[in-house]
Amino acid sequence: MLIEIPNVFSKQEVSHLREQLDARRWIDGNQTSGAMATTRKRNQQLDKDDPVAIRIGELIMERLLAHPLFVSAALPLQFYPPLFNRYQGGETFGYHIDNAIRSTNEGMVRTDLSATLFLSEPESYQGGELVIQDTYGQQSIKLAAGSLVLYPSTSLHQVTPVTSGERTAAFMWLQSMVRDEGQRRLLFQLDQSIQSLTAQTTAEQELFNLTGIYHNLLRRWSEL
């Protein structure tokens, strides 16, 4: 399941974030990759200890944890905090699957879900599509600045070469309370239907029952 979350940040907020990020020192992206990735990856990143990157990363996590669609789709337990990358002059990241486990200062995170927050307007660069091999086929993603895509970390994915302009993005991983993607998808679909019914019907007892079923499934399937 691949979910787009539009307007996590407004255009004005994105340009303010970009001013701060662009002024930092960008380094070779291979300093943060696993062994498999290094031969396929050509891009730039901010150091994970860069104080501006850490602060903006915290703002992104805070914003996402307050976003009902994100919470419903991800059922987040633990983030691997956002990192920032930039592609220009033909830079690319060929097909790969992300590492399963990442360590943070707070301990280990199993990467159940990956997310990319786009911070460049799509018309400002050529190429740079995030291509994801989903269970339903191949999807090519290039979102407006301030919008995010969330997808299972089990997916094979690539970033195609950026042949003109530059593409800046934040990317992150998270461990979900519900490890199994199929169970997570069912919970998401049930929750979205409940939200939609809540907005339009007076069938209170049925909605009450469905909400109870949602919570009983979540109780059965979550691990904390």
Task: List interacting residues with Ni ion (CB under 5 A).
Answer: 98
Cα–Cα dist 168/143, whole Å: 12
Minimum Å gap between C-beta 99 and Ni ion is 9
Q: CA dihedral in degrees (125, 42, 14, 171; nearest 10)?
A: 130
Q: How many CB atoms lie within 10 A of CB 21?
A: 19
Query: At which residue do the structure tokens 């097909």 appear?
Result: 95
Minimum Å gap between C-beta 33 and Ni ion is 9
Nearest-CB residue to Ni ion? 98
Minimum Å gap between C-beta 172 and Ni ion is 11
Q: What are phi and psi of 148, to 5 degrees?
A: -130, 145
Minimum Å gap between C-beta 153 and Ni ion is 8
* Residue 72 vs 80, nearer CB to Ni ion: 80
- Residue 172's closest CA among 188, 151, 145, 158? 151
98 is in an annotated binding site: yes
* Residue 98 vs 191, nearer CB to Ni ion: 98
* Residue 50 vs 98, nearer CB to Ni ion: 98
| Residues annotated in a binding site for 2-oxoglutarate | 167
| Residues annotated in a binding site for Fe cation | 96, 98, 157
